[in-house]
Structure 1
Amino acid sequence: MTSYKTGLNFALELDKTDELSHFRSQFHIPKHKNGEDCIYLCGNSLGLQPKITQSYINQELKDWAELGVEGHVHGENPWLSYHELLTDTMAEIVGAKPIEVVVMNTLTTNLHLMMVSFYRPTNKRYKILIEGDAFPSDKYAVESQLRHHGIDEKEGLILWKSREGEELLRYEDLESILKEYGDEIALVMIGGVNYYTGQFFDLKRITELGHKYGCFVGFDCAHGAGNVKLNLHNSGADFAIWCSYKYLNSGPGSLSGVFVHERHAYDKNLNRFTGWWSHNKETRFKMRDDFDMLPGAEGWQLSNPPILSMAAIKASLDVFKKAGMDNLISKSKKLTTYFEFLLNELNHKSIKIITPINNNERGCQLSIQVKNADKSLHHKLTDVGIICDWREPDVIRCAPVPLYNSFEDVFNMVEKLKLILNGK
């Protein structure tokens, strides 16, 4: 275990020995008004743009300009099968088999599509269990599914809440909920990494608990994909969804990833919404054949994919492939532990880290609670060139991303925070 020290020189030494440090130069870093690079700690909200992204998109624009519709089969990267170019690397990032992964649609759309298949309410088993402080869009989505099935959301929604005076969720409380209501719960749907606290949940443990009581289990891994080792296949989860614009750096509003466990791959009786892109590729364009479902996650596709968005995803995934998830996770733990060390060294009575101390229970995000603070603190940080994230009522979310953040970034952020907290 690294023994950390205070002072800029130590941060610079850590950067010198960082084997991934060269990846920083492969990203566009936003500039502060003074012309210097910002300290960008907001990859948990929107990842930075890889410099190769523009050329990847330009290639598809070139093929569209020069080939028109023929780009579907004769382009540099034929559009008909373009989504397949993303599958292997995306599957590796989330710990899945290629047959279990597809990139399509956007995050909440995919959550609804998964609930069509994996939320099957009956008169007795109709409830959905989520985190008490789930990301709002997840809560809105599951509430609307309950209403769609004629169920009062207040009756049908069960919340796994933290205890009074605590921020993190306890598994024994989840066990108690399932013990009491398990035979009434149709779906357990949890965020793989909680957006607010940064708590990384034990997906396998939650899945086994849910399955023990006959529930389907799914995860929203928007804050986990590209950030932590999800090991989705080994978790046994029925499904997972994630966006690609946070840690996966694919650009604002870009496409979502979907995982469906291989045990469901060939189940043609599993209810789902379908479209022509979930139809057998060999007969898809005969147009008048009866529906013939594709096996695996591809069988949940609806429409032909948006190529320009996928080109941006491909650019980022190619960077990930070169860096390697194991290497990224290793650096992430060092960065975040160093960040935690520096914050603790401040010994400032107003700040508290609410993210788990155990770095196996978190990704690269640290959520810093600042007593008696309001959003003016966030504005002050922005004014001195720190781009981070504010969440009401009093939390700064900071994510030192291993692909493009340095140990010097972390050091300088804490120094600037210290000056602001001390009124300087």
Structure 2
Amino acid sequence: MAANADTGFSTRQVHAGSATAHASPRAMPIYLTAGFTFDDLDASAAHFGTGAGFGYTRTGNPTIQAVEERLASLEGGDQAVLVSSGQAAVTVALLALAGAGDHVVVSEHIYEGTRGLLLDNLARLGIEATFVPTGDLDAWRDAITPRTRALFAETLSNARNDVLDIAAVSAIGRERGIPLVVDSTFTTPYLLRPIEHGAAVVVHSASKFLAGQGAVLGGVIVDDGRFDAAASGHLFPHLVQTDRLGGASYAEKHGPRARGAYIRESVAPRFGPSPSPLNAFLIGQGIETLSLRVERQSQNALTVARWLEQRPEVERVDHVGLESHPDFDLGRRYLTRGTGSVFTVTLRGGLEAARHVVQSVEVITHMTHLGDVRSLVLHPQSTSHSARTVDERERAGVFPGTIRLSIGIEDIDDLLADLEQALVGVPVVERETVVL
């Protein structure tokens, strides 16, 4: 409707200025709108019939789509679906594969939010999980049952930096048509692209390294576009059977892109973890400097880890870039551009030593987050791993004296000086008995 001087005040306050001139911005524009107008009835029918164009931001938005295309390209995947958080990304990915009566095999060394999702929430929906040690390939194979619909793991474990042998674990799943879903938040597509090594689906908490600035939440699911209906269709009837109205199946409509299309068209929009276009914009801006940040963060982290390993106050440093780490060789195979910036340090003085360091750092920030341009510290035993038993924490490499560091882009001399002053007053005691 044209809003002119003849229309009323309330009409003009809603409509005046809506017919803006066409422009071509260099930066990604923010389409901060709930919905989009249609030219005519046929256009709206086409959108609801085929998905063409944009109708409602929950099902598609140009800003969100631009970020999805960028992430799919960086991961080497077929398509990406952006959602509101990393937790939402894991949930959507697993619900696209498993339902009531199904089963997933999961690395025991995963983010606590994902572990709780499996044990408390998906279990109530009838999805069972079996946890296995990340590096025990026989355990992965033995845990698979006829009901298994997915394997799930993280590229680098929190907190011990265990490295997932993606090629080996994905090959175990492929023998039975079961996809490997990988959380690659810690490694980012700059350091590692799991799809190139056989993973079927990759998820990220985009709130971390992808955004980089710690200002927004977001998550992403990237599908490889290699769904094989012949090999896996019997496991995923929702992808190969006709829809409830008797229409063509996802496999018939999309071929090897069926799984990604199902995530985009069915699971994500219906469960509704829609990202804000503004958050998508900020994630997209962060991605533009991803390689620069991660390269610097990885270099800083390895320097800090090597420095800490020589300190008398330190019991152990679990950083895969150190030759002392049990997965050092596996890390060199997969992480050729750098070994990431998140790792743990266990102090000989136990809980009080950890308390002293966490409360004494000045450049490093004490908070629940990682992947920020700022260096961060957290005490896992009392925070991220507090819901686990002592035995479970120790298997994950978490002890009373363990602190987790996420190293940022600050000047390395400032980080080392901050840690050095924070270690002043930490007792140097006999080494604790650390059971691996």
Q: Are 2:316 and 1:352 equivalent residues in the alignment?
A: yes
1:90 counterpart (71, 75, 94)? 71
Conservation of the 8 A alpha-carbon contact between 1:190 and 1:218 = yes
Q: Which has the higher contact order (CA 8 A, sep 6+)?
A: 1
Structure 2 alignment gaps of length 5 or more: 1-26, 39-52, 55-59, 240-246, 323-327, 366-376, 382-399, 429-436
Task: Describe the SS at the equivalent of 2:379.
Answer: strand
Q: Write the letter of the residue equivalent to 2:307.
A: L
2:114 counterpart (135, 138, 144)? 138
Q: CA deviation at 1:351?
A: 2.9
The 5 A counterparts of 1:103-122 are 103-119=82-98
Task: Describe the SS at the equivalent of 1:373.
Answer: helix
Distance 1:313 1:148 in 2: 32
Task: Describe the SS at the equivalent of 2:180.
Answer: strand
Match of residue 229 from structure 1: 191
Distance 2:180 2:307 in 1: 38
Q: CA deviation at 1:200?
A: 3.5
Distance 2:36 2:142 in 1: 57
Q: Write the letter of the residue equivalent to 2:82.
A: V
Distance 2:347 2:98 in 1: 39
Q: CA deviation at 1:145?
A: 2.2
Q: Write the letter of the residue equivalent to 2:207.
A: Y
Conservation of the 8 A alpha-carbon contact between 2:89 and 2:219 = yes
Task: Describe the SS at the equivalent of 1:421.
Answer: coil
Distance 1:190 1:314 in 2: 26
Q: CA deviation at 1:391?
A: 0.9
CA-based RMSD = 4.0
Which structure has the greater CA radius of gyration? 2
Change (3 A) 1:349 1:307: closer
Distance 1:266 1:406 in 2: 51
Task: Describe the SS at the equivalent of 1:82.
Answer: helix
Conservation of the 8 A alpha-carbon contact between 1:221 and 1:240 = yes
Q: CA deviation at 1:332?
A: 4.3
Q: Write the letter of the residue equivalent to 2:227.
A: H
Conservation of the 8 A alpha-carbon contact between 1:111 and 1:241 = yes
Change (3 A) 1:81 1:198: same
Task: Describe the SS at the equivalent of 2:199.
Answer: coil
Conservation of the 8 A alpha-carbon contact between 2:64 and 2:281 = no
Match of residue 23 from structure 1: none
Conservation of the 8 A alpha-carbon contact between 1:368 and 1:396 = yes
Q: Write the letter of the residue equivalent to 2:182.
A: F
Change (3 A) 1:365 1:257: same
Q: Write the letter of the residue equivalent to 1:160.
A: V
Q: CA deviation at 1:265?
A: 9.3
Distance 2:319 2:359 in 1: 23
Match of residue 419 from structure 1: 424
Conservation of the 8 A alpha-carbon contact between 1:119 and 1:216 = no
Conservation of the 8 A alpha-carbon contact between 2:218 and 2:280 = yes
**What count of residue pairs does the alignment treat as equivalent?**
318
Q: CA deviation at 1:230?
A: 2.5
Q: Write the letter of the residue equivalent to 2:346.
A: Q
Task: Describe the SS at the equivalent of 2:130.
Answer: strand
Match of residue 61 from structure 2: 80
Change (3 A) 1:207 1:413: farther
Change (3 A) 1:397 1:84: same
Distance 1:265 1:381 in 2: 54
Distance 2:111 2:205 in 1: 13
Q: Percent identity?
A: 9
The 5 A counterparts of 1:18-417 are 60=30, 80-93=61-74, 95-97=75-77, 99-119=78-98, 126-143=102-119, 144-149=121-126, 156-161=128-133, 169=134, 171=135, 173=136, 175-184=137-146, 185-225=148-188, 229-248=191-210, 249=212, 251-252=214-215, 254-264=217-227, 296=257, 297=260, 299-301=262-264, 302=269, 305-320=275-290, 325=291, 330-346=295-311, 348-356=312-320, 357=322, 358=328, 360=332, 362-371=339-348, 372-374=350-352, 376-382=355-361, 384-387=362-365, 388-392=377-381, 393-401=400-408, 404-417=409-422
Conservation of the 8 A alpha-carbon contact between 2:207 and 2:214 = yes
Q: CA deviation at 1:189?
A: 1.0
Q: Write the letter of the residue equivalent to 1:137.
A: G
Distance 1:255 1:195 in 2: 20
Q: CA deviation at 1:234?
A: 1.2
User: Could you state the TM-score of these two structures normalised by the residue count of structure 2?
Assistant: 0.61
Change (3 A) 1:335 1:183: same
Structure 1 alignment gaps of length 5 or more: 1-55, 74-78, 162-168, 274-289
Change (3 A) 1:272 1:83: farther
User: Could you state the TM-score of these two structures normalised by the residue count of structure 1?
Assistant: 0.62
Q: Write the letter of the residue equivalent to 1:353.
A: V
Q: CA deviation at 1:313?
A: 1.0
Q: Write the letter of the residue equivalent to 1:111.
A: V
Change (3 A) 1:413 1:238: same
Change (3 A) 1:330 1:398: same
Task: Describe the SS at the equivalent of 1:312.
Answer: helix
Q: Write the letter of the residue equivalent to 1:386.
A: I
